[in-house]
Every structure is written in C-alpha cells, then in structure tokens.
Chain A
Amino acid sequence: MKEGWRKLPLGAIIPEAGSAEKFHTGDWRSERPIYHPDKCIQCLICFIYCPDSAIKVEDGKVVGIDYDFCKGCGICAKECPPKAGAITMEREMK
C-alpha cells in the first residue's frame, strides 16, 4: 500500500538509505539476457559493465542474472567475449 500525502516525509525526501532496492527496474524489460553457465569463462566483464548490478556473483563467480533489477539493456551480452558468447538476448515474454 502506498502512503497518503499526510504520512509522507516533508520535501519529498527519501529518509532511508538503499531504498532503490525496493524499486524493481526489471519491470521495464523488453528483452531478457539468458546466461549459459557451460560457456562462461568467469572473466566477470558482464559484472563490471552491468549498469544495474544485476549480474549475480557468489564467491567471485557469476551464477546468474537478477531479473528483479535487470532492465534488459543487453550490455552484458554485447560485452561478453565473443568466443565465450555466454549471454544471449531473447524477447521478454510477459
């Protein structure tokens, strides 16, 4: 439930840090990156380039894509080394 105007902080401030986490930019996506772990060489280039920190990394290794925040820009697929080709884009089916 979104708050009514009387309950909102004055001056349209956001009084907590890190609240962007609640904003699912993944809702905008028209294309979806697909991660192919068998082809991945773990160079982490996709992780460095992703503008939305949507490449999930565990113990220094790419493990997949966070679709809540991935906006489907395709940068990861473009930057993934062509010889690996570990990320491909598909049309988003909603």
Chain B
Amino acid sequence: MIVARTGNEAMAEAMRQVNPDVVAAYPITPATEIVQIFSSFVHDGLVDTKFVAVESEHSAMSACIGAAAAGARVMTGTASQGLALMHEMLFIAAALRLPIVLCVVNRSLSAPINIHCDHSDTLASRDSGWIQIYTENSQEAYDSVIQAVKISERALLPVMVTIDGFIISHGMERIDILDDREVREYLGEPPKRPNLLDIDKPITMGPLDLQDYFFEHKRSEIEGMNTSLPHIEAVAREYKERFGRYYPVIDTYRIDDAEVAVMAMGSAAGTAKVVVDRMREKGKKVGLIRMRVVRPFPKNYLKELIQGFAAVGIMDRSDTLSTLGGHLYVETRAVLYRASHQPPIKNYIYGLGGRDISLEEIEEIFEEVLEIGKSGKVTEPVVYKGVRE
C-alpha cells in the first residue's frame, strides 16, 4: 500500500507491524516521534506490546536488556545524547547476545548543542558490538526495521537501524508498506533461545567473568560479529523474494563503467545519485558507493569494489577527532592496505550539525575526484566541505 510517511512515522509503522513484546523508551529530538507514535498504538490497543516509560535512555536500554534476557522480542528508539547515555548498556546487550532492535535518528553530539543531523552519535557506538545499518530514505528505513528483527534473531546480536535527523526523520516521502499479516507471517514467532523465564532450564546471565574466562567469551562475541554478514545478506535476499525490495550490504549507483566514485552514507547518498545522473549526462564516468552496513564492516566487498576505480572520494558526516579524518575514510584506508591496487582516496567531511550539502558541492567533489583520478595525486587528504574558513 502506498502511503505518505516521514522517516519517524515509517519506523513507528514498522514497529507496529512487528508488534514487539516490549518497548522501553525515552523521548529525544529528533527521534521522539518514533516512540511517541508507537505509544499511541499501545494506547489504542493496536499492538500487544508492554510499553515501559522509563526515566532515561540508560534505563531504556537496561529495560530492553532485561526484557530480551527474559526471551521477549524488544525494540526501542533514540538519537544523539540519548544513544550516548545508552553507551554503557549497548556493550552489555551485544555481549549477552540479545536480539534488540534500536531505531536511531542520526543527530550530532553536543557540544555545542545542536539537534540536526550528522553521524557522530551512531559512529561513536561502532565498537559496541551492534550491527549497524544506515538507511538512505523512509522506504529503506521501514524495510530495514523489519529486516533487523530477523537479522538480530539469527545473528543473536542487537541491531541499530539509522535514519538522518530531520532530513529523513521529518521529511514526508511516498513509501510502500506491507500488509500487517505479511509482516507477521514473515517474522513468525521469535526462535527459542536460552532465557531467564525458562524455569525448566534455569540459566545465569551476566555473571562475574574474570581472567580465566572473559577472554574466551569476548572471542566468541567477536566471532558473532565476524560471521554476521551472511545473516544480513540472507535476510536481504529473502525479503526481496517475498516483497520485491532489495538492499545490498553496499549499495552502488552507476558504477559499472565509472572511472571514479564517491562514497557516502545516509541521505546524502540520495543527493549524490542526482549529481551522478547530471554528470553522466555530461559524459562524465562517475558512480556512487553507498555504505549501508557499517558493522560488520564489509571489508572484502569494499576491497573488491574499490580497487577498480582511478580515485575515490569519501564523504564522512563525522570526524574521528583523531587527526586521521572521518570514520569511513579511516576504515576504507585500513581495508585498502591489503588491496593489490590502491586507488588514491580523499576525505570530504561535510554536513556536521545538519549543515546542508548542495548538489553543486557534491558536483565539486566529483570534479576534484576526476582530477585526482587523472593525476593520481592527492595533495590534501582530509578536507572540510562547506565549512567557512
């Protein structure tokens, strides 16, 4: 069914159709609407969910962990400072191998205080052991939330699905939603896993784990992340077979004969696709790489893909504050170290605190990358696009 939905509404709609057992949440701009809309579904009796209105995001994630440990299907939503406040609990959710789905609206982290989009909040959680999916638009956000439930239950890892603050969360788009019945049939009952309410098989979760076992348990968790990519891909394929829409781990646009490419993530990738079309009309062989799954980092696919270009420009809506550049740039460089052909790459950090990136600016990036492709030289590897000097 075609409907008009904002990104937040699309995510809330997906949550309604998933009908989770428990949602524990605390409001925060620009993600407030997701759980606010969902709470009205609870009030109106459209879902069977137990909604826990907690006093902070730390408590929200704690309650989600408790509910998931008890065997429930659990979801929540947050953004920015809220995700930062959950930080401690994120690691625990992952290490306990709990399938929790978290809808995150990307928003910059304070200070200075700001409510608009960049990726500094979710990328600061990249080492927490969560699977991370960055979506481009409301349609993909809707589909990805449903997929995330399946992925988390198969990989036994928590999954965060992100949309860009305001740009997508509050932007109205035309999306195609599934029937409630189709979603519920697809997801079925959650697979049985060891849980705290199974009185026939009592277990202990979260015991003190010192020098003699912690390392083994951590190694096992790392393996969970290392082997999670096939689950993500299998779910994407099944979803395509059932519902027709397909989202690869790395999305690409017009790269087949492209000489150079630009890499981006989230809503800016949609803008960049328009620029690719414009430049293609002028006969310029450019393409786009959109990172969709960032944890696990799809290193082998990226290595294969990127070797074929004369140069790649990497757009990051975040900086690692490490002197190294943005997150995608740093990780792409790490991947390229083992590539037989290493195209020159340049980092364009843009859009911090919700600063708009225009078609013209992205076109400038493409033009520069085309130049780098010809000369093979990068003079300044990390630049800040759109900042006033």
B219 touches A5 (CB 8 A): yes
Interface residues of B in 195-222 (CB under 8 A from A): 201-207, 209, 212-213, 215-217, 219-220
Whether A9 sits at the interface, judged by CB under 8 Å, is yes
Which residue of A3, A4, A5, A13 has the most chain B CB atoms within 10 A of its CB atom? A13
A2 to B211, CA, bound (A): 12
Interface residues of B in 208-246 (CB under 8 A from A): 209, 212-213, 215-217, 219-220, 223-224
A9 to B224, CA, bound (A): 12
Whether A10 sits at the interface, judged by CB under 8 Å, is yes
**Chain A residues near B201 (CB-CB < 8 A):** 15
A13 touches B216 (CB 8 A): no
Chain B 76-100 interface mask (CB, 8 Å, partner A; 1/0) = 0000000000000000000111100
Indicate which residue in A10, A14, A16, A19 contacts B220 across the interface (CB closer than 8 Å): A10
Whether A60 sits at the interface, judged by CB under 8 Å, is no
Whether A11 sits at the interface, judged by CB under 8 Å, is yes
Q: How many of B's residues come within 8 Å of A, CB to CB? A: 23
Q: How many of A's residues come within 8 Å of B, CB to CB? A: 16
A19 to B204, CA, bound (A): 9
Indicate which residue in B204, B212, B219, B224 contacts A13 across the interface (CB closer than 8 Å): B204
A5 to B219, CA, bound (A): 7
Indicate which residue in A6, A12, A15 contacts B95 across the interface (CB closer than 8 Å): A12
B217 touches A14 (CB 8 A): no
B207 touches A10 (CB 8 A): no
**Chain B residues near A11 (CB-CB < 8 A):** 95-98, 156, 194, 205
B95 touches A10 (CB 8 A): no
B216 touches A8 (CB 8 A): yes
**Chain A residues near B219 (CB-CB < 8 A):** 5
Residue of B nearest to A10 (CB): B97
Indicate which residue in B96, B156, B207 contacts A14 across the interface (CB closer than 8 Å): B207
A16 to B203, CA, bound (A): 6
A29 to B201, CA, bound (A): 33
- Minimum distance in angstroms from B99 CB to a CB of chain A: 11
A8 touches B220 (CB 8 A): yes
Residue of A nearest to B201 (CB): A15
A19 to B202, CA, bound (A): 11
**Chain B residues near A16 (CB-CB < 8 A):** 202-203
Which residue of A3, A5, A8 has the most chain B CB atoms within 10 A of its CB atom? A5
- Minimum distance in angstroms from B203 CB to a CB of chain A: 5
Residue of A nearest to B220 (CB): A5
**Chain B residues near A2 (CB-CB < 8 A):** 212-213
B204 touches A14 (CB 8 A): yes
Whether A17 sits at the interface, judged by CB under 8 Å, is yes
**Chain A residues near B194 (CB-CB < 8 A):** 9, 11, 13, 15
- Minimum distance in angstroms from B292 CB to a CB of chain A: 26
Known: A5-B219, A6-B220. A13 touches B213 (CB 8 A): no
18 A–B pairs (Cβ distance < 8 Å), ordered by A: A2-B213, A3-B216, A5-B219, A5-B223, A8-B220, A10-B220, A10-B224, A11-B95, A11-B96, A11-B97, A11-B98, A11-B156, A12-B95, A12-B96, A12-B207, A13-B96, A13-B194, A15-B203
